[in-house]
Amino acid sequence: MAKQDVYIDPMNTAFARAMELSTYAGLAVMIVFGILYLLGFSGFVDMKQAIANWHLPVSEFWKEVKGIEIHGYSWFLSHLTSMDALSMVGVCILSLAPLLGLVAALFRSGGQKAFTIFYIILIIEFAFAILKPIILPGVGGH
Amino acid sequence: MRVKWWLLLGFLAWGIFWSGQALAAEAAAQGGGLPWWAWPVILFVFTFVIGLIAPMSGVGGGVLFVPLSTAFFPFSVDFIRGAGLIMALTSALSSSPELIRKGLANIKVMAPVVCVSMVTSILGGIVGLWITNAFPSGKYYITIALGVVLFIIFVVMLTSKRVEFPEVREQDGLSRALGLSGSWFEPSLDKVVEYRITRLPVGIFFFALVGFIAGMFGLGAGWANVPVLNLLMGAPIKVATSTSMAIIAVNDAAAAWIYVAKGAVLPMIVVPSVVGISIGARIGAKIAVKAKPAFVKYLVMAIMLLAATLNIIKGLKGLHVI
């Protein structure tokens, strides 16, 4: 068999394409706004305060630096004029990339029922991972 | 020629420890009073050096970043794990699409094992953050546990023998029913290589365990995924390492939401680290083609052993045991 005879299942290629595009988008957003933040553009977290407190466990850190308790995503989604919050949006796009890949693979899994079920389970699990901090903020936390 | 590579790798190892030691000493001397801009620069250099070494050794950057940073840097272990997870995720996301297109990574193999390991990876993330936040001395227990996990990784690397093309005589029923097989063009043989996967149920059990550890400590899990896929499930080594990257991408992305929602991902730490390791890994991948793989493997194992020891000592000191 020659190189061109390698068969790649369409599920694989759909997964790869969707994940690749969202990875590029996520990296660009995270790095561009992250660098602007490091260059001194407006940030939600003051860098000097962060450095003074980043030895603390995460819950104490936020109490000291911003006087808040963090559960969920509002801590950065409600401050989208700040460069570090926008950089966090990039992290979220990166963290969504495999989910988008799974959705793309699901639409190409016709005729392979077991994989349709696997992808649906994975998408539900992924959605739960994203929504858990909002719908069950105390579970598993402190 | 050989001497040149020994010198280069020795320099890289020295670079990691020098930057770590210098950082620790400076922070201790000044009470963490370095100018703010120094930290992103230090993180960039530190992760760049890790990025150079990682591709030569076959481990993800996260597995070096987390223990070394825990040992040397003043950040809380929560922020280190958050950054380590995003670094491992970025590496996996960047490499997986190309590997899938070549037929090396197979999401049909990935899907059934990740159905289980994603749940345990999320649980691991929750448990890790809960321990450090619920107990005053929780971070020291996590640091000790990380050291123990590193010892286990060290033993796995020391004892596991990779099989380039394992022979699978008979597939288990589940693997056969799911059609877990594939092919890729192998340039070194100048032909298309076909493979089949077996022992899927046992593999799923191991992936569950590995997912929990990866989520808890913010490590990528290539060190464990690869032996399970290769030695247990019969995937050729290239398929095992490539499919492992796709598994890491999905597991770490799910676990990352826990860290984001707890505020354990700080752009100030994550951005220079991701940029540093990405640039370092690109250069490291080119060096890896010429480097002696056995020597690099032993170098990384030595670093891990040292990091394991340092983490256990740090944790025991925190608990006033020593």
Whether the pLDDT of residue B131 is over 90: the answer is no
Contact criterion met (CB below 8 Å) for B247 and B221: yes
User: Is residue B103 within 8 angstroms of chain A, CB to CB?
Assistant: yes
Q: Chain A interface, mutation test: which of B30, B34, B36, B98, most A Cβ atoms within 10 Å?
A: B36
- Lookup: tokens for B78: 């929560």
Q: How far apart are CA B267 and CA A84, in angstroms?
A: 6
Smallest Cα–Cα separation from B258: which of B121, B62, B92? B121
Three-class secondary structure of residue B86 per DSSP: helix
The secondary element (H helix, E strand) that includes residue A28 is: helix A10-38
pLDDT on residue B26: 52
Q: CA-nearest residue of chain B to A140?
A: B126
Q: CA-nearest residue of chain A to B113?
A: A118
B-chain residues within 8 Å CB-CB of A118? Answer: 111-112, 115
The secondary element (H helix, E strand) that includes residue A6 is: none
CB-based burial label for B158 (10 Å; 0-12, 13-18, 19+): exposed
pLDDT on residue B34: 75
User: Is residue B108 within 8 angstroms of chain A, CB to CB?
Assistant: yes
Q: What is the mean pLDDT of residues B240-249?
A: 87
Q: What's the predicted TM-score (pTM) here?
A: 0.82
Q: What is the mean pLDDT of residues A36-62?
A: 92
Q: Is the dihedral of CA B218, B223, B229, B231 positive or negative?
A: negative
- Lookup: tokens for B72: 């040397």
Total number of residues shown for chain B? 322
Contact criterion met (CB below 8 Å) for B297 and B66: no
Q: CA-nearest residue of chain A to B192?
A: A1
Whether the pLDDT of residue B189 is over 60: the answer is yes
pLDDT on residue A141: 40
User: Is residue A25 within 8 angstroms of chain B, CB to CB?
Assistant: no
Q: Return the higher-pLDDT residue of B71 and A118.
A: A118
pLDDT band at residue B132 under the 50/70/90 scheme: confident
Q: How many other CB atoms sit within 10 Å of the CB of residue B279? A: 15
pLDDT on residue B56: 66
Q: Return the higher-pLDDT residue of B31 and B321.
A: B321
User: Is residue A93 within 8 angstroms of chain B, CB to CB?
Assistant: no
Q: Find the angle CA(A116)-CA(A121)-CA(A126) to the nearest 5 degrees.
A: 125
Q: How far apart are CA B125 and CA B322, in angstroms?
A: 29
Three-class secondary structure of residue B1 per DSSP: coil
Comparing A131-135, B13-17, B85-89, B119-123, the range with the smallest average pLDDT is: B13-17
Which residue of A6, A16, A45 is in closest CB contact with B185?
A6
pLDDT band at residue B8 under the 50/70/90 scheme: low
Q: How many other CB atoms sit within 10 Å of the CB of residue B136? A: 9
Q: How close A24 gets to chain B, by Cα (Å)?
A: 8
pLDDT band at residue B295 under the 50/70/90 scheme: low
- Lookup: tokens for B105: 């990574």
Q: How far apart are CA B106 and CA B95, in angstroms?
A: 13
Task: Check A8 against B101: CB less than 8 A apart.
Answer: yes
Q: How far apart are CA B290 and CA B4, in angstroms?
A: 11
Q: How far apart are CA B69 and CA B98, in angstroms?
A: 30
Comparing B39-43, B51-55, B81-85, the range with the smallest average pLDDT is: B51-55
pLDDT band at residue B318 under the 50/70/90 scheme: confident
Which residue of A51, A87, A112 is in closest CB contact with B267?
A87
pLDDT on residue B218: 65
pLDDT on residue B111: 95
Comparing A24-38, A95-109, B230-244, the range with the smallest average pLDDT is: B230-244
Angle between helices B267-290 and B77-101 (to 10 degrees): 50
| ipTM of the predicted assembly exceeds 0.90 | yes
Contact criterion met (CB below 8 Å) for B96 and B226: no
> What beta strand segments (E) does chain B contain?
181-186, 191-196
A-chain residues within 8 Å CB-CB of B117? Answer: none
Residue A17, CB-side half-sphere exposure with 13 Å CA sphere: 11
pLDDT band at residue B1 under the 50/70/90 scheme: very low
Smallest Cα–Cα separation from B160: which of B241, B54, B251, B245? B241
Residue with tokens 């598993």: A140
Q: Return the higher-pLDDT residue of A78 and B94.
A: A78
User: Is residue A124 within 8 angstroms of chain B, CB to CB?
Assistant: no
Q: How far apart are CA A129 and CA A123, in angstroms?
A: 10
Q: How far apart are CA B39 and CA B272, in angstroms?
A: 9
Q: How close B201 gets to chain A, by Cα (Å)?
A: 15
Q: Return the higher-pLDDT residue of B10 and B322.
A: B322
User: Is residue A126 within 8 angstroms of chain B, CB to CB?
Assistant: yes
Whether the pLDDT of residue B305 is over 90: the answer is no
Q: How far apart are CA A142 and CA B15, in angstroms?
A: 39
pLDDT on residue A142: 32
Contact criterion met (CB below 8 Å) for B245 and B95: yes
